[in-house]
Chains A and B, each alone.
Chain A
């Protein structure tokens, strides 16, 4: 190889809406990375692309639905999961994935998140967790780390964040894992695994948000937060679920890995014999 070759088309352009590239996310934002992991997994999935459906909520992560070249539904804030449940139950052949963010899923959408997990509906949820509400300019959210600075916590966030893995495990999800946008191969593998695993799968993907979160919290650029993940992330095998919380102050590791992988029966609507 001499120099890089300049081209206009990318191998994934068939599965993304290439006519809408470049997308709106900031330089260094991890949502694009998580989306491409989804795209990779989709192409390797045994289910044909026509049967894959993505549902998103509101926020930067919510824009993923608009960029994936599959049937996509960009719904209202917090309501992606029940919309996805309706889709899946009305047509069980669909491979339904909810792609959303920490605020959309765990704040306004929190009730639907825990009930979706409790019911163990056969959908996959990717939570791009960037510790804030990025689209609206960087406000605190349910996963904002303690004492982190955001526009609505200018003196440091006084709230403790959710430990989403623990929450989802308690709610009853069949599969829960956490990675970061640095762990691209693991994210792809987990999405593929979640596709074929019956029941509710939840994959938390920590993601840099340089403008909304990073800038106020010593991560000027996305690459700095990625390097931070590289230093602080550790596989959390054997760590009790309640100890998997994320704390950016101090030296606690950020635990990543597959944390819940069980086989509780997925939600099945009641069917009676006879009148079918």
Chain B
């Protein structure tokens, strides 16, 4: 059992390894992946650890096989994950859609590197953020988290599995190379204090006539696994509540809306943010991942200079915390969005607020330092605040 496998205690650990330990702690029993810098250490660690806890590690022939394999394992009832970076993430897009359509929980880690294309394999980037949102074809709602430390990489892996299972959706963990490769203290708790949210299961007695895609008010259909005797059909085609293909516009609209609304309805439970000095802030900085570390430093320095700056750290990047942003927009004069790309998440901020939004951007390759963020804060302060 995994309880014996959880490495409770204090560790000085690399981010990728912390992610792997988070998976073990969350009860992950299947990893199907392909080596790609800078995520390879996750695979290597799990190749060692999964056999110790009775799980399965398999290195697949490519990323397409990897994501297909974890969906299959999830369909059989296992908590399953894969880990990759930009180029592999692109290869996984089609089956990400399959996972959303079949409502198969799984965790997909993207330790982002310099993109596009082969880019900078060993250096950080944050330019796959919009791809996480829209990379797969069709109307979908992405669920994505961005850790800013090895500790959080551990924590968000546990959370990611829980969110995936509860809402029957693939969850994306959008780390970056800095967080993946840095070594910091990681505290792994007791197995008993690690929360585990189980998949919703059918509560009827009869298996005959069970409709695997019939959802109640929470829009989450109960999950059945292969071999449990329900004889259900899962398809990537548009389907009705029985799971049978239904090639009508009416069924398609009904299904796709439910899949989208399923996430929208529970957005408040899925979204995670962290605020620093927000109570009296007139300029708010937004950032995620390793950039957030620089952003926090910049905000502290701004405060030291007397500028009423605050920092909203995006722990989840999708769904975007629109409500929180709108609330802040009530009292804030300007926003600063710092990200290691040429302006992706900034578009989300811009469309929800009327205040000026200053972007601090870099295409990737080096962690965004605090200086340009501080400069942007000072520039924003010149817009009449503080």
Question: What is the interface of chain A, defined by CB distance below 8 A to chain B?
Answer: 17, 20, 49-51, 53, 55, 65-66, 69-76, 78-79, 81-91, 93-94, 111-112, 115, 269-272, 274-276
The residue of chain B having its C-beta at the shortest distance from the C-beta of A119 within the complex is B58
- Is A276 a contact of B54 with CB atoms below 8 Å? yes
- Is B68 a contact of A83 with CB atoms below 8 Å? yes
Tell me which residues across on chain B come within 8 A of A50, comparing CB atoms: 227-229, 231
Does B95 make an interface contact (CB < 8 A)?
yes
Q: How far is the CB of A82 from chain B (nearest CB, A)?
A: 4
- Is A72 a contact of B30 with CB atoms below 8 Å? no
* Stretch binding the partner chain, chosen from B76-84, B147-155, B293-301, B327-335: B76-84
The residue of chain A having its C-beta at the shortest distance from the C-beta of B207 within the complex is A50
- Is B65 a contact of A270 with CB atoms below 8 Å? no
Does B273 make an interface contact (CB < 8 A)?
no
Q: How far is the CB of A62 from chain B (nearest CB, A)?
A: 9
Given contacts A89-B30, A90-B78, A269-B58, contact A73 B229 (CB under 8 A): no
Taking residues whose C-beta sits less than 8 angstroms from the other chain, chain B's interface range is: 35 or more
Tell me which residues across on chain B come within 8 A of A76, comparing CB atoms: 68, 94-95, 98, 236
- Is B72 a contact of A84 with CB atoms below 8 Å? yes
Point out the residue from B71, B233, B237 that lies within 8 Å of A72, measured CB to CB.
B233
- Is A85 a contact of B69 with CB atoms below 8 Å? yes
Tell me which residues across on chain B come within 8 A of A75, comparing CB atoms: 68, 71, 95, 98, 236
Question: What is the interface of chain B, defined by CB distance below 8 A to chain A?
Answer: 1, 4-5, 29-30, 32, 51-54, 56-58, 60-62, 64-66, 68-78, 80, 94-95, 98, 102, 225-237, 244-245
A70-B231, A90-B77, A115-B65 given; 19 more Cβ-contact pairs under 8 Å? A50-B229, A50-B231, A65-B233, A66-B235, A73-B102, A74-B236, A83-B75, A85-B65, A85-B69, A86-B69, A86-B73, A88-B72, A89-B56, A89-B69, A90-B56, A91-B226, A271-B51, A272-B52, A275-B52
The residue of chain A having its C-beta at the shortest distance from the C-beta of B229 within the complex is A50
Tell me which residues across on chain B come within 8 A of A93, comparing CB atoms: 227
Tell me which residues across on chain B come within 8 A of A91, comparing CB atoms: 76-78, 225-227
The residue of chain B having its C-beta at the shortest distance from the C-beta of A121 within the complex is B58
Q: How far is the CB of B76 from chain A (nearest CB, A)?
A: 4
Q: How far is the CB of A138 from chain B (nearest CB, A)?
A: 21
**6 closest pairs, A vs B, by CB?**
A86-B72, A86-B69, A74-B235, A90-B73, A82-B68, A90-B76
